[in-house]
């Protein structure tokens, strides 16, 4: 089984590229936001815990998200691997993912990081706000906070995965097809 981690700053095109990656390599896409919504809709114990926290305006703790991801690994069949999108975002989450995979003698296959400069992040997110009517993408203060959060919390994962030689950086500038080709040229090696 293959386990890919997809990350990059907001607006890098992760969602756009994930669809093609899943299709070409027969992967199950695990987006933490979608996973939370699925568990809540199904009324699972983890979903009920998450719903209660979200309704109070609290963040869902890592342990709950990790439990949901572990359940996906155990219960999804008929795929050649998993594409994790939105997890891990912090070093403790990366360590937790390693611990989950170690239980079944597995490990992260590769990390695919789509990188774009901060100015392009701002441009893309503002464009998305207009195109998709996303209010959370319209404010420069919110966008700047999301960029800062990415740099402070997620960028340390670059070094974490570099040390294991599982980090693969993709230039996210260019057309969707150009970026996709760059991603595929890395993933074809696995």
Active site residues: 14, 89, 128, 134, 146
* CB distance 60 to 7 below 8 Å: no
The continuous run of DSSP H or E covering 167 comes out as strand 167-171
| Beta-bridge partner residues of 4 | 83, 110
The single residue listed with the structure tokens 């070409």 is 24
Strands, E assignment, 23-91: 27-31, 81-85
* CB distance 11 to 118 below 8 Å: no
Positive or negative: CA dihedral 113, 73, 187, 14: negative
End-to-end CA distance of the chain: 11
The continuous run of DSSP H or E covering 143 comes out as helix 140-149
């Amino acid at each position: 089984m293959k386990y890919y981690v997809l990350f990059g700053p907001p607006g890098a095109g992760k969602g756009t590229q994930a669809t093609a990656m899943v299709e070409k390599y027969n992967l199950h896409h695990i987006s933490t936001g979608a996973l939370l919504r699925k568990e809540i809709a199904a009324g699972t114990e983890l979903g009920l815990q998450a719903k209660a926290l979200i309704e109070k305006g609290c963040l869902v703790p890592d342990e709950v998200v990790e439990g949901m991801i572990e359940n996906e690994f155990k219960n999804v069949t008929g795929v050649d691997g998993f594409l994790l999108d939105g997890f891990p975002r912090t070093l403790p989450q990366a360590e937790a993912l390693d611990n989950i995979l170690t239980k079944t003698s597995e490990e992260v296959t590769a990390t695919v990081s789509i990188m774009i400069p901060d100015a392009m992040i701002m441009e893309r997110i503002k464009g998305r706000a207009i195109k998709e009517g996303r209010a959370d993408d319209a404010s420069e203060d919110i966008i700047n906070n999301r960029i800062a959060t990415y740099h402070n919390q997620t960028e340390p994962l670059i070094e974490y995965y570099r040390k294991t030689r599982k980090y693969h950086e993709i230039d996210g500038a260019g057309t969707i097809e150009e970026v996709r080709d760059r991603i595929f040229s890395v993933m074809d090696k696995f």
